[in-house]
Amino acid sequence: MQIDEMDRALLALLARNARLPVATLARKLGLARTTVQARLDRLETSGVIAGYTLRLGQEARPALRATALVSIEPRTGPAVLARLDSLPQVRSVHTTSGRFDLIVSLEATTTQELDETLDRIGEAKGVRSSESLIHLSTKLDRGA
């Protein structure tokens, strides 16, 4: 599907605040409300907009965040991913190139919970090695 500059502007407004009413979006874009609604319907139907969600502020997020860089044995990806999926503290998993195979984002409420989660990751069958990085403060967050 082709996305034009007006679609990009609409998506940028929604990325900042997905709760903006269609009338407000139309006013900011200089379009008719029905035109904006039609664009939203098209973007949703085509899968460009997969859904709308809630982003928690710092006060409501778990106190600790970390990234685990994980190296796995060949052909163990599905088993390792299943193990990671079973851990509620795992927020996202990305494949990567280079020395590590996976980037795992974690959130925990206590250091003990984070430590135990990192232990569960490290002892998973197929995990060759892991390295963890605890996030200290957020300097920039575009909500991606």
Domain for residue 51, yes or no?
Answer: no
Q: How confident is the model at residue 66 (pLDDT cuts 50, 70, 90)?
A: very high
Q: Which domain holds residue 119?
A: 58-135
Mean pLDDT across the chain, nearest whole number?
93
Q: Give me the sheet containing 90-95, strands edge to edge.
A: 90-95, 102-108, 64-72, 127-134
d(CA 59, CA 55): 11
Domain for residue 18, yes or no?
Answer: yes
Q: How confident is the model at residue 144 (pLDDT cuts 50, 70, 90)?
A: low
Average pLDDT (83-106) is: 96
pLDDT at 86 over 60: yes
Domain for residue 144, yes or no?
Answer: no
d(CA 5, CA 29): 11
Note whether 64 and 98 are same-domain residues. yes
Determine the pLDDT at residue 78: 96
Note whether 39 and 89 are same-domain residues. no
Domain for residue 33, yes or no?
Answer: yes
Note whether 70 and 24 are same-domain residues. no
Tell me which of 51-55, 66-70, 105-109 is least confident. Answer: 51-55
More confident residue, 80 or 1: 80
Average pLDDT (30-51) is: 96
pLDDT at 12 over 60: yes
Domain count, the chain: 2
Identify the CATH number of the domain in which residue 18 sits. Answer: 1.10.10.10
Note whether 24 and 65 are same-domain residues. no
Q: Where are the alpha helices (DSSP H) in the chain?
A: 5-16, 22-29, 33-45, 77-85, 111-122
pLDDT at 116 over 90: yes
Note whether 33 and 64 are same-domain residues. no
Note whether 126 and 86 are same-domain residues. yes
Domain for residue 109, yes or no?
Answer: yes
Note whether 42 and 65 are same-domain residues. no
Note whether 62 and 123 are same-domain residues. yes
pLDDT at 131 over 60: yes
Note whether 66 and 24 are same-domain residues. no
Note whether 62 and 120 are same-domain residues. yes
Percentage with pLDDT > 90 across the chain: 83
